[in-house]
Structure 1
Amino acid sequence: MKENWSTFRELLLPTAGPRGLERALREAIRAGHLPAGMRLPSTRDLAGQLGIARGTVTAAYDQLAAEGYLEARRGSGTRIALASAATSATVEPTAARPVRWEHELRTGMPALGAFPRTAWSSACRAALNGLSDHDLGYPEAAGLPALRGELAGYLARVRAMAVRPEDVVVTHGSAEGLALLVRSLRQAGHTELAVEDPSYPGQLELIIEHGLRPVPVRVDDEGLRVADLMGTGCRAVVVTSAHQYPLGVALSPRRRRALVKWAGTVDGTIIEDDYDAEHRYDRPAHAALQALAPDRVAYLGTTSKTLAPGLRLGWLVLAGRHRAPIVESKRLHDRGNGVLEQAGFAELLRSGGYDRHLRSTRRLYRQRRDALLSELAARVPEWQPIGIAAGLHVVLRLPPGTNDRELADRLADDGILLAPLSAYAMTTAPFPGLVIGYGNVSAGRLRAAAAAIADSVGRL
């Protein structure tokens, strides 16, 4: 191992500046030049070897740990993660995907390096030991009974929902849940589905793919404009009421009541996409909209923003006439989710491991959000953060007249990947803005990204 590091150190020397170190380490790990389990020098030692600032090394280590390439353990230093080096190069070779971005600020990605590997492994072992031979057969299409029971208890406790185990359907993430609902609505005679404007473009693609036409409804600082929804003629709508995506506002109590009243008046369906309600940093999130009208609201939840998208675990909560056709569609489509993953997640919920993980990541994400916003406030004070203190992204309102697409393109040319708000709008964006994800980026790298953004803008 010493020989590996000695050789690699010589390769690092020409690219050891603030922008080169992180990239060089990442590429070496992906290519297998630095083996899994290998201990890296301390930040102080490596900075001395390369003749660079210790903060540069710390920022690089923090970012690669957030991406899952490194593991930092108290008393044993920083090592190459056991999973990353062995799998990255074989799944997606570096040569096929060159690193382009110095700062990747994508939305929707949690801190992958914070995945609770030990707790998850323990939960899966305990769950497997508790499964009977019968449990290993084809699963129930609606989901493992143990998981549906744990989810019902969790959602009643944390989101104040009116939910029974028999109301829960386990899915492959919220995307499958939405696809099941869209197909069910189409079969019931719907041709259109109202959506928030702006909203997630991938959601619009899914709705169109499964046979409905998305109809935009504007969003303001109180959330979905229910009065505008009433004029669309639609009888179904998708809302992100706890934390609107991407604007980050919460649906106001007045609008929540109006939305439920609308659904009762038109015999309608509300699809509540509760994609990241667990991440509220200044106060508890509002109770789920489902609690106001369980017979009118189909609730979507997911582990993609709390644990990792790779788990492909989500859930639908719905009662009444919609449930039976949804479960049958799920049975015909994929015969249900994998039993082992469901059992592991059920045990994580039962043991309290999920709650402990969320408490930890809430602190982490708040620190990252604060680091980003404090640095931006110092460097570009005219950019205004929009929305509540929540989630894994923030929207920055730019000065009037700014072309946010041109600005995003300019930043991309300088190695900074983020999205313009106008890219999320079906009609016209409410204002020029930038949408910045911070979930999977360390606080140090976020400060560096903010500085790079300010430098790029300063050269305009």
Structure 2
Amino acid sequence: MRKSWSGSRVDLHIDLNPSTGRRAALESALRDAIRQGRLSAGTLLPSTRGLATELGLSRGTVTAAYDQLVEEGYLTTRPGSGTTVTDIPPKAVTSEPVTPIPAGPRHDLRPGLPDVSAFPARAWLAATRRVVADPRSMVLGAKDPQGRIELRAAVADYLGRTRGVVTSADRIVITSGYYQGLSLLSSVLARNGARTVAVEDPSHNAFRAVVRRAGLATPPVPVDAHGACVDALTHEADAVLLTPSHQYPTGVPLHPGRRQAVGAWARATGGLIIEDDYDGEYRYDRQPVGALQGIAPDRTVYCGTASKTLGPALRLAWMALPPQLVQPVVEAKQQADLYTESLSQLILADLITTHAYDRHVRATRLRYRRRRELLLARLSGVTGLDAHGVPAGLHTLVTLSADWPPEQEILSRCARQGIALRGLSELHIDPHGRPAGLLIGFAAPPEHAFRPAVDALFAALQKPATSPE
């Protein structure tokens, strides 16, 4: 007969073949589990008494089977340490070849990524202990598609205090990242009859794609030295997606006159402003520009995220919504994935309310400012590379003069040296005739690795001498 066991020290399903003797069946089952990798090297097996009880065998049968596998080299027994799978299984496990996972870049200078080695682990662990120990938090029980009220209240207070956002906890929706938030909002707009969301040109191509997947058209809004040219907006646009504090990718803020103009457009046409404040906390020469949402709170969806301050894998973002959009977005969130994981929401709420989050942002702001200054100093010594944008954000845009190699050639050259960057061309809706450029992130490398990364970048950027004609 077939039996299964789950011992006191390991849980493992194991079948005993009824056509053989009990000892032989146990030996064969354990041998196969080791060969197949289901029992990995170093695994501690149950005691002979425990396994005998689980399988309904005599202890002597189990002891004899263990002894036989020790003799064969499959198991190791040490007094006081129990029986473990040997470190070197006698037979290699045969399997289909596995495609190796590509290694990450040696020097990660992609835009929009923070230094995750600076994650405030000590503060996060302290907050975790407080949250888990608080019986009121119901960490693993309560769920709300709108997001935990603790985080919504903390975010509403934080945004009002630091970004000038006019909102309240009942107008905040927590999402699993900005990507999901934009997807939910786009689907709601499309269901409500919207057809067009104007987007900056250039802008993040992945987010343009999110809007288009909802069936919405994305006509371009040109960007110049003063940000998005919002006078290009028409009555036909149902909404506009902007990065007003630090335009992605050019790095310029939206001019004050244009901020007022887009607010007036929204009020006059009933249009919606979608504000992506993706790195609004990071301004290095002055106090960060306040959120555009404060100009037209009832016509603006403010979107923020912890991805740039703590880490993209955390998957926590928020939207401050006009009242009429709260319920439709909450329903869309519930249909998408029910709700965002609760524990990290409560921990982030604790970090915000204890101001540990503020302290972390201030510390990283100082670190990133120094890195940006180092990068710009190196760029100033290279002819034909022009940096753009105000002192803000996590990247610098560098355009290339006409005598430089093509953008793709430079990116390929850097990639061969293990350096990850991003090119400007792919961010234009139509790259034909538009300037080439590089987006150089200065935040992602750990502190000790930033200077070597910059050295490697400029070694790869050494412009070949122009051949005489």
TM-score of the superposed pair, with normalisation by structure 1: 0.75
Residue aligning to 1:304: 307
With over 3 angstroms needed to count, the CA separation of the structure-2 counterparts of 1:350 and 1:259, relative to structure 1, is: same
Q: Which 10-residue stretch deviates more, 306-315 or 222-231?
A: 222-231
Could you tell me how far apart the structure 1 residues matched to 2:253 and 2:458 are?
30
> Cα gap change, 1:147/1:98 in structure 2, threshold over 3 Å: closer, same or farther?
closer
Given that 1:101 and 1:416 are in contact with CA atoms closer than 8 Å, whether structure 2 keeps it comes out as yes
Q: Could you tell me which residue of structure 2 aligns to residue 277 of structure 1?
A: 280
Secondary structure at the residue paired with 1:396? strand
**Alignment correspondent of 1:112:** 116
- 2:187 aligned with 1:180, yes or no? no
Instruction: Tell me which residue corresponds to 2:241.
Output: 238
Residue 413 of structure 1 and its aligned partner are, at CA, apart by 3.8
Following TM superposition, by how much is the alpha carbon of 1:103 offset from its aligned partner in structure 2, in angstroms?
3.2
Hey, what does 1:383 align to over in structure 2?
385
The answer as to 2:447 corresponding to 1:445 is: no
Aligned twin of 2:154: 150
Residues 132 and 139 in structure 2, CA contact (< 8 A), matched pair in contact too: no
Read off the aligned partner of 2:226 and give its amino acid letter.
E
Deviates more, 1:413-422 or 1:315-324: 413-422
Name the SS of the counterpart of 2:233 in structure 1.
helix
Question: Conserved in 2, the CA contact under 8 Å of 1:135 and 1:339?
Answer: yes
Distance in 1, Cα, partners of 2:320 & 2:301:
6
How much does 1:415 deviate? 3.8
Question: Do the aligned partners of 2:379 and 2:387 also contact (CA within 8 Å) in 1?
Answer: no
Partner Cα separation in structure 1 for residue 427 and residue 386 of structure 2: 18
For the pair 1:249 / 2:252, whether they are aligned, the reply is yes
The amino acid across from 1:185 in the alignment is: L
Judge conservation of contact 1:120–1:344 (CA < 8 Å) in 2: yes
In structure 2, distance between residues paired with 1:449 and 1:131:
52
- Specify whether residues 131 and 382 from structure 1 end up closer, same or farther in structure 2 by C-alpha distance, changes over 3 A only: farther
Deviations 1:236-279 (A, max 9, x none): 01100000111111001011011111111211000000000011
Alpha carbons of structure 1 residues 133 and 356: separation in structure 2 relative to 1, 3 Å: closer
Q: Quick one: which of 311, 314, 322 aligns to 2:325?
A: 322
* More off after superposition, 310-319 vs 426-435: 426-435
- Give the aligned partner of residue 97 of structure 1: 101
Give the Å deviation of 1:456: 5.4
**What does residue range 391-406 of structure 1 map to in structure 2 within 5 Å?**
391-400=393-402, 402=404, 403-406=406-409
Gaps (5+ residues) in structure 1?
1-93
Query: Match of 1:245, SS?
Result: coil
Aligned to 2:427: 424
Q: How does 1:31-110 map to 2 (within 5 A)?
A: 96-99=100-103, 101-110=105-114
What's the secondary structure of 2:380's corresponding residue? helix
Q: Distance in 1 between matches of 2:465 and 2:266?
A: 49
Decide whether aligned partners of structure 1 residues 269 and 148 sit closer, same or farther in structure 2, where only a CA change above 3 A counts: same
Question: By how many angstroms is 1:320 displaced?
Answer: 2.1
Distance 1:341 1:102 in 2: 30
Q: Which residue of 2 aligns with 1:295?
A: 298
1:401–1:432 CA contact under 8 A, matched in 2: no
Q: Which residue of 1 aligns with 2:371?
A: 368
More helix by share: 1
For 2:411 and 2:136, the matched residues in 1 are separated by 54
Q: How many pairs align?
A: 366
Match of 1:384, SS state, is strand
Alignment of 1:174-213 (within 5 A): 174-213=178-217
Alignment TM-score, normalising by the size of structure 2: 0.74
Using the aligned pairs only, state the percent identity. Answer: 38
| Residue type of the alignment partner of 1:170 | I
CA offset digits 1:36-56 (Å, max 9, x no partner): xxxxxxxxxxxxxxxxxxxxx
Deviation at 1:445, TM superposition (A): 2.2
Which residue does 1:228 correspond to in 2? 232
Q: Which structure 2 residues correspond to residues 125-164 of structure 1 after superposition, within 5 A?
A: 125-132=129-136, 134=138, 136-164=140-168
Query: Against the structure 1 CA distance between its residues 256 and 279, is the aligned structure 2 distance closer, same or farther, given a 3 Å change threshold?
Result: same
Q: CA deviation at 1:98?
A: 4.4
**Letter aligned with residue 437 of structure 2:** G
**Helix, strand or coil at the partner of 1:163:** coil
Q: Which segment drifts farther, 258-267 or 415-424? A: 415-424
- Report the counterpart of residue 15 of structure 2 in structure 1: none
Residues 303, 458 of structure 1: CA spacing in aligned structure 2 closer, same or farther, 3 A cutoff? farther
Measure the CA separation in 2 of the matches of 1:102 and 1:336.
36
Whether the 8 Å CA contact 1:196–1:239 is kept in 2: the answer is yes
Instruction: Report the residue type matching 1:388 in the other structure.
Output: V
Whether the aligned pair in 1 keeps the contact of 2:410 and 2:461 (CA below 8 Å) is no
Aligned to 2:343: 340
- CA shift, 1:407, in A, is 3.0
Letter in 1 for 2:100: A
Could you tell me which residue of structure 2 aligns to residue 61 of structure 1? none
- Code of the residue aligned with 1:272 in structure 2: it is E
CA–CA distance in structure 2, aligned partners of residues 350 and 113 of structure 1? 23
Which amino acid counterpart does residue 213 of structure 1 have in structure 2?
A: A
Quote the offset at 1:319 in angstroms: 2.0
* Cα drift, residue 432 of structure 1: 2.1
Deviations 1:38-86 (A, max 9, x none): xxxxxxxxxxxxxxxxxxxxxxxxxxxxxxxxxxxxxxxxxxxxxxxxx
Q: Aligned partner of 2:412: which letter?
A: D
Post-superposition offset of 1:99: 4.0
Cα distance in 1 between the residues matched to 2:180 and 2:290: 24
User: 1:180 is paired with a residue of what secondary structure?
Assistant: helix
Does the 8 Å CA contact 2:303/2:318 hold for their aligned counterparts?
yes
Q: Per the alignment, in what secondary structure is the counterpart of residue 272 of structure 1?
A: strand
Report the secondary structure of 1:143's partner residue: coil
Q: 1:168 aligns with which of 172, 176, 183?
A: 172
Q: Provide the secondary structure at the position in 1 that maps to 2:218.
A: strand
- For residue 196 of structure 2, what is the amino acid of its counterpart? E
The separation in 2 between residues aligned to 1:136 and 1:300, in whole angstroms, is 27
